[in-house]
Structure formats: structure tokens, C-alpha cells
Structure 1
Amino acid sequence: MKRELGISIYPDHSDPQADREYIQKAAKLGYTRIFMSMLEVTEGKEKVSEKFGNIIHYAKDLGFETVLDIAPSIFDDLGISYDNLHFFAELGAEGIRLDEGFDGNKEAMLSYNPEGLAIELNMSNNVAYLDNILSYEANEPFIYGCHNFYPQEGSALPYDFFVSCSKRFKGHGIKTAAFITSHEAKYGPWDVNDGLPTLEMHRHLPIDLQARHMFATGLIDTVIIGNAYASDEELEKVAAVDRYKLSLGIELVPDISDVERKIIAYPNHFRRGDITSMAARSTMTRVVYKDTANPVHDNTQEFQIGDVVVGNDDFGKYKNELQIVLEPHSDSRKNLVGKIPQDARILLDFLKPWTKFQFVPEN
């Protein structure tokens, strides 16, 4: 399934012109999904229709798919029915996210709505909710999944639980989404804003690393910035993330050679299939650069987990082979060329046999 990026808009808390400017910036960078909250709606149907319809149609013209986050109370507040979703289709929405669930059969029936709206389910509960819905012969192409976000420090999902929840959906081929958090954005749907991530471990990480980690899990198709408004720099950093290839940040050493810079930038790194526990080996660079000298430097220390090394002129046929250190060891035939930052080492767990990867220099 193709992967995409999204932003969040909160029309009940924001300025319409600022929303438009934010949407336009994101559109130019390749964002295609909008999460829009209707949980705080307090005005009448006519005003809600105008406020939400204007911004959704504006976004739609720029190529965005908007999913509205709704609660059961909104149907009573607006005098509409779950049996008729025409109101949301008229607004221009492509789907509705059910913040609270029903009995399974109700969700299955909703997935056959004549407006063709996607029905997005809450993924952040590790129960057989999805299985129950699918057992009622739901219209699967119109069932999406999306995790919650958590504005309170310490309240977001632990990683292992997130994986278990997400596998329930990915196992059925359901389109999935989750949230990362901006460190510049000022608000979300509630009056507490300690960031809006799905994963607690992401709350204080760089925003692009959050996105790289989400995509690296292979469990999330759509990564959405949960709070508004992310800065221009943050939007650009997330947009630059490769959504399909594992991307490892690296801080290069001052004495790195020209050939080692080329090796770092080599576009076709992959971990050998016959793996070793000591290091992840990318061996094609020793073939490509077999005739290029690589003098000794930074080769006498003990290499630590996350160090990136390249074979030097003393390493015979292994000269110019790149390795990512997974166990501390010493070997003077290898030059230290860079270090994967401490926070980014969470990505080392995804270096499986044959994993394709690339480096993103940070200095």
C-alpha cells in the first residue's frame, strides 16, 4: 500500500486563513491527508456546514483527502443520523473516524454507505474490535484504521502495545494511520498540549525521526502531524523522509575521506542476507570502490553500537566495505566514518536481512 503524509486542522480553534496557508504549504510539499476534528462542535448545523465545508473543499481542490473525527454526540447536536451520512459527503469529506465504537454490525453497515465514505476505526485498543466488524461482512476497502493521539505527557502508547494493536489491522490489509508531534505547534483539540503523538517514545524526538520510525515499523501507511501548526522547517523535514527505505541519520567524523563520503552516499545499501550479530554489512561498496585507496584514520578506538565504519587499505578484499556496528569491538582495519545519533539508534532494530537503507548526514 502506498504511504502518505498528513496534517491536522482544528476549525473550532483556528483561523480559516491560517488554515488555508498551512494547507497550501503542505500541499506543495506532497502532503495528501488531513485529519480534522469535529469533536468540539458547538454551533448549529448551518454554521458548522459553512465552516467545515469551506476549508474541506479548499483542501480537496489541492489534492487532500479529509477524514473527520466525530463522536456520537455530534449526530444529536446537528440533527443527523448514522443511517444517512450525506451531511459529511456534502462537506467534502472522504471519510469519518469513529472516536467511539458500536457493536460491530453497525460499523459493517456504515461501510456500505451510498456516499462512499471511508469508515475509520480507532486502532489504539488491543481487542478483537476489528475482527468483530469484519465478521459482519464489512465492506473492507472502505474500512480504515487510525490510532489516537495523546496530549498529556506520559499518556501515549508504549511501543510494544502499539505494535500489537497495529498488527491486528495490517494483518487484514487495512489502511492504517498514526500521529507524530510537532515541537512548534501550539494547539490540538483540547486545552492540554504536551504534544500530540501516538507513541510516548516519540514525544520529544525530532519530528523527522518520528516519521522515519513510524514508516520503518511497516505497520503504518499514513503518518499525520497531530498538532497545528507545524513550522515550515518541520513540514519540510517530514516531507523529505523516504517513506519506503530505512533512513539512518549520521554524524560524520571530521577526517572522513572522499571515498568514504561517496560510500556513505551510495544509493543501494542493503544488509547482507547471511547476517552477523557484530555488524550490519553493506558489501557492494567494496566492489564498486575496490580500486580506490582508503588511508587509515580513526581506527584505534573500540567501536560502539551505532558507529559506522569502512574498511581501510589494510583490510584486503574487504577494503571499502561499509558496516554499522551492532556489538562493541576493535579492529584497526576499519575506519570510523560516522556515528548514528543516540536517539536514532531505535532504527537499528529494523536492519533485517536484506533491508535496504540509506544515510541522512546531520553535519
Structure 2
Amino acid sequence: MTKRQLGLSIYPDHSDFEEDKAYLTLGHKYGFTRIFMSMLEVSGSAEETKLKYQQIVDFGNELGYETIIDVSPRIFDQLNISYDDLSFFNDLHVAGIRLDQSFDGATEALLSYNPYNLIIELNASNNVDYLNNIISHQANKPFIYGCHNFYPQVGTGLPYDYFIACSKRFKKYGIHTAAFVASQVGTIGPWNVNDGLPTLEMDRRLPIEVQAKHLFGTGLIDDVIIGNAYASEDELAVLSELNRYQLEFQVVFNDEVNDIEKTIALEPQHFRRGDINETVIRSTMPRVTYRDVANQPHDNTQQFERGDVLVGNDDFGIYKNELQIVLEPHTEERKNKIGHISEDELFLLDFIKPWTKFQLTAAD
């Protein structure tokens, strides 16, 4: 599996160079390694554009970032750049270019053989045979990436099922993919409307770490990029702590939770049993590891609701100290409710399939 990255977005035509530098320095501190840079709004000459973009790209390169710059056919025309000669972008010292609009398939395939080994990143937010066409023209696949769009206008982001269908087209070929999450404080984007810049509409107002968990949790996205600038340091910090390779759910513990129950929740590597049921997600190894540890009944008489975290108590025989997460409401006095999954993350329970690995952390 490709190493998963976190990325930032920079808009040189709408931002200040010194503020951009400070943002990239902060991102570097928190382990961000990728830059999305928009060139859709340039207004100066080719030389002016080159100087403006090159200085921030070079600064990012010094910090170890990989920069991919977003371009369109209009920019090629405006700056008099030929598709047969990508030296302009090589002179910017970028790692690649993202083609915001499509060509004829043969053009994209030919671009992927550029002598500078520039990555050619395609717009992944389409569910047509665009990618198949490019691959059929014998594209240089290691240099083909896919990156979804973002959507500044509220209500216009991709619906989830469509996003999945689009993403699967790229993962079918093992192509590196990226998508966007929205900062809840960033105000800079490519246009004069900025209601956040996510790929998925359902993610727009969620905490940024939940958005990232959602994208990574699909198993179809390698890089998560914050679409709008500038995200807060708190947002960068919480993303830096995110497990990019398995879902971690935040648990709000009950006041009555005891030490063994906290240990059962927070310490093991959990995985769902392969022989699943519709009522609960079962993590059964804790009942083996902690079979000799007593666990008296408490918080065991109410109806359990979706997202409640349960541990079998002393009355549950062999199932004592088994951890469960509720999917369907039910009652069972042989189980103690020890807490519940954070409300924002409940929808992520759908990603816990047979044998899926997951972890639990204590909510702040």
C-alpha cells in the first residue's frame, strides 16, 4: 500500500508569501508532506508567474514537501505553454501538475512520458471511462496520480456513493489518490466563495479529523489535503495525531467505568470477529487476555443504543470482559455500558467489516 500523506493548499495569487512560508513551516512541524497549489487564477506574465510560484515551491521543497500545481488548458494558452514542452513547470521545481480539465486521453498519456518525470495528476471527480482511455493509450502509470476536486459552494460537494464509484476507477489500477477536507477556520481558496473546500459534501462541517478518518477509512484515498488556507494549528495538530491506516474511535467514558474496562477499551489491538452479526461489533480477544479479572455489573439495565461501548461483566460467563460496540438497540444485564462513541463518528462504524482492525481512544 502507498504511504499515506497529509497535505496543505497554497494560493499564491490570493495570499502573502511570508504568511505562506509560516504556514508551510507549521505544517512541516506536524508532519505534512504535500502541497496542492492552484494556478487557475494567474493574471501576470509567464515570467512574473514563474517567479511568484517558484519562490514558494522552493521554500516547500527545502522543507521536504512534494508540490503538485493545478492547471487548466486556459493557463497553457495564457502563458503560451506547449503540451510538448513542460519545461515551464520543471523550472518551477514542482513534483507534478494536476490537470483540472481533461483532454483526449492520448494527450494525457503522452504527457506522462515527459523528460522531467513530472507527475501528471488527473481530476478524479468523474465517473466516466476517462481513465481507461488514458491507460489504453499506454500511459506511464507510475507517473499518473488522481486527485478529486474540492467544492467551495455549500451544497455542491460530491455525494458519497458517487465519490466511491469515481475513486474505485483509480484504485482499480493501483493509482495514487488524493481528496480534500475543509478547515473550519480557513478563509482562502481559489475563488471569492469559500464555504469550506471539501470533496465530500457530507464532510463539510465535520471536525477536520473526522473528515480525514472518513476519507482514509474508505481505503480508496492515499493523501488527505486541507483545501482551504489557513487551517489552525489545532487542526494541524489533531490531523498529525491521526492514525492513517486504521480507524480510531473516540470514546466518551461513563463516570462509573472501572480500570479494567478502560484497559480493555484502550490497550488492545481490536478487530471485529469474522463471523459478524447485526447487533454488535465484537472484539473477543480481551475476554481471553483478561478472563481472570473481576468485573462487577454496573450501568447494565438500560437499553443500549448505537455507538454504546460495552464490556461483559462477571455474570456473562465465558464472555466476561469481551468488548462490544452496539449497532442495534438492545438490552442485556450481563453487559456493562462503559461509554459511547463520539456522536460525529457514529457513521464511521459502517467501515468496520469482518476482521477490520480498529482502536479506541479516550475523548478529551
Q: Give me the TM-score of the superposition, normalised by structure 1.
A: 0.99
Q: Deviations over 1:273-319 (max 9, x none)?
A: 11121111101111111121112111100101111100111111211
Matches within 5 A, 1:95-110: 95-110=96-111
**Distance in 1 of aligned mates of 2:155 and 2:75:** 29
Structure 1 portions without partners, runs of 5+: none
Query: In the alignment, what sits opposite 1:183?
Result: 184
- Aligned-partner SS, 1:224: strand
Query: In the alignment, what sits opposite 1:340?
Result: 341
Structure 2 portions without partners, runs of 5+: none
**Distance in 2 of aligned mates of 1:360 and 1:145:** 32
Letter in 1 for 2:108: E
Letter in 1 for 2:278: S
Query: In the alignment, what sits opposite 1:49?
Result: 50
Query: In the alignment, what sits opposite 1:147?
Result: 148
**Distance in 1 of aligned mates of 2:238 and 2:268:** 20
Q: Deviations over 1:235-280 (max 9, x none)?
A: 0111111000111122111111011111111231111111121111
- The answer to whether 1:362 aligns with 2:360 is no
Letter in 2 for 1:202: D
- 2:308–2:340: 8 Å Cα contact kept in structure 1? yes
- Aligned-partner SS, 1:223: strand
- 2:300–2:332: 8 Å Cα contact kept in structure 1? yes
**Distance in 1 of aligned mates of 2:361 and 2:348:** 13
Query: In the alignment, what sits opposite 1:59?
Result: 60
- The answer to whether 1:162 aligns with 2:163 is yes
Q: Deviations over 1:214-245 (max 9, x none)?
A: 00000000000000000000001111110001
Q: Kindly state the Cα deviation for residue 79 of structure 1 after the two structures are TM-superposed.
A: 2.1
Moved >2 Å (runs of 4+): none
Query: In the alignment, what sits opposite 1:31?
Result: 32
**CA distance 1:19–1:263, shift in 2 (3 Å):** same
Aligned residues: 363
- 1:120–1:145: 8 Å Cα contact kept in structure 2? yes
- 1:197–1:226: 8 Å Cα contact kept in structure 2? yes
- Aligned-partner SS, 1:97: strand
**Distance in 1 of aligned mates of 2:241 and 2:337:** 27
**Distance in 1 of aligned mates of 2:192 and 2:318:** 61
- The answer to whether 1:73 aligns with 2:95 is no
Matches within 5 A, 1:3-42: 3-42=4-43
Q: Deviations over 1:97-121 (max 9, x none)?
A: 0011111000000000001001000
- Aligned-partner SS, 2:353: coil
Q: Deviations over 1:192-213 (max 9, x none)?
A: 0100000000001110000011
**Distance in 2 of aligned mates of 1:80 and 1:357:** 48
**Distance in 2 of aligned mates of 1:238 and 1:360:** 15
**Distance in 2 of aligned mates of 1:59 and 1:177:** 19
Letter in 2 for 1:273: G
- 1:266–1:285: 8 Å Cα contact kept in structure 2? no
Q: Deviations over 1:72-117 (max 9, x none)?
A: 1112222221111111111110010001111100000000000100
**Distance in 1 of aligned mates of 2:13 and 2:268:** 45
Q: Kindly state the Cα deviation for residue 345 of structure 1 after the two structures are TM-superposed.
A: 1.2
Q: Kindly state the Cα deviation for residue 163 of structure 1 after the two structures are TM-superposed.
A: 0.3
- Aligned-partner SS, 1:18: helix
**Distance in 1 of aligned mates of 2:27 and 2:148:** 21
**Distance in 2 of aligned mates of 1:224 and 1:267:** 30
Matches within 5 A, 1:255-294: 255-294=256-295
Query: In the alignment, what sits opposite 1:215?
Result: 216
- 1:186–1:193: 8 Å Cα contact kept in structure 2? yes
